[in-house]
Amino acid sequence: MKRINKYQKDRSRTPSPRKTYHNATWEEESGFLSFITGVRAEAKKFAETLGFELDTDLPQPRTIDGDPGMPRALGFIVTRRNALLPGRTYCLYSLIKGRALHGYIGLYTGENIRTLRELTPITEYKKGLTVLYDWLMGLLKASCDKI
């Protein structure tokens, strides 16, 4: 038996730490989770930089283009109200389709979204901020152009 002096720990009596293995999902490996959780902060930063009001704390709509099943695939919603166009709330929303995040500009009524324009989808989430900023610029343009 090996002698242990008073300054050493007897490791023979302590259980070895268990190793846990986690297989990363495609959402983690692709950067999707990181991207989707950062959208709210990026939209806020974008709005503060340009001086526009954008809202990201919204209830989920009941339907998108009349389809009650589509909101289940909703990634996020960002809205903008233009004071010069009362009664119209424009939104940027995304739908998860397979492994791609598709962006859309639409009109938001609280319970429904009516799609006006489809945007470029994001498939490479590690480079997704560039596309997100393009989407946010599209939202600002749509809310000013009254499409």
Does the predicted TM-score (pTM) go above 0.75?
yes
Residue 71 lies in a domain: yes
Q: How many domains does the chain have?
A: 1
Residue 70 lies in a domain: yes
Residue 111 lies in a domain: yes
Contact 96, 36 (CB under 8 A): no
pLDDT of residue 11: 58
pLDDT in tens, 81-112: 877 777 889 999 999 999 999 999 999 988 89
Residue 9 lies in a domain: no
Residue 75's domain spans which residues? Answer: 39-145
Residue 73 lies in a domain: yes
| pLDDT above 90 (res 15) | no
Residue 12 lies in a domain: no
pLDDT of residue 95: 95
| pLDDT above 70 (res 122) | yes
Residue 16 lies in a domain: no
Residue 129 lies in a domain: yes
